[in-house]
Amino acid sequence: MEQVARAGQVLFVNDSKATNADSTAKALASFNDIYWIAGGKPKTGGIVSLAEFFPRIRKAYLIGEAAKEFAQTLEGKVPFEISGVLSAAVASAVRDAGAAKVKEPVVLLSPACASFDQYRNFEVRGKAFTDVVLAIPGVTATVL
C-alpha cells in the first residue's frame, strides 16, 4: 500500500497490487471511512469474502469487467456507483471524500481484480492512479 498524496484531510492510497479479495482484505482492514475503487478482470469468488469490511466503506467506485458482479454483491450493503474507468472513479471518489464530514477519508485503489481488462499489469494500473491523483488541483504528494 503506497500513500500517494493528500488533498486536505483526504489520503490517497495505491494498492493496485491487490489483485484478489485476500489482498484487498488487508487494505480494507487498515483504514476507516474508505472511498474504495475496485474492479478489473474478476477472479473466482469475487468480493463476497470481504463482507466483514463493508461497514468501513463509505462508497465504492466500480471499474472494469467486474463492475456489475461487484455491484450485485454490494447492493443494499454499501453505496456504490459504476464508474467504468479509473479516471472517472477517482474524480467521483475525490468529490465524495472531499465533501465527507469524517476525520480522514481515504481514497483507496485496491481492486481485488487483475488489471488485464484495461491495463497491461497492476503496475501500469497503479501508475495511472498515481498520475490521475497527482493531477488533482491542491493535492500534495506524500513523501515516503
- Tell me the per-residue pLDDT of 5-57, one tens digit each, with 9 for 90 and over: 998 899 999 998 888 999 999 999 999 999 999 998 888 889 999 999 999 99
Contact status, residue 106 vs residue 11, Cβ threshold 8 Å? yes
How far is CA 120 from each of CA 2, 40, 113, 137, rounded to the nearest angstrom?
Answer: 20, 12, 13, 28
pLDDT value for 131:
93
Of 96, 93, 82, nearest in space to 39 by CA:
82
Which residues on adjacent β-strands are paired with residue 59?
35
| Structure confidence by residue, pLDDT tens digits, 28-42 | 999 999 999 999 888
Contact status, residue 102 vs residue 58, Cβ threshold 8 Å? yes
- Which grid coordinates belong to 39? 474492479
108 versus 42: the higher-pLDDT residue is 108
Of 66-80, 104-118, 126-140, the poorest mean pLDDT is in 104-118
Contact status, residue 94 vs residue 139, Cβ threshold 8 Å? no
pLDDT value for 143:
59
Domains and CATH numbers, the chain: 2-136 (3.90.190.20)
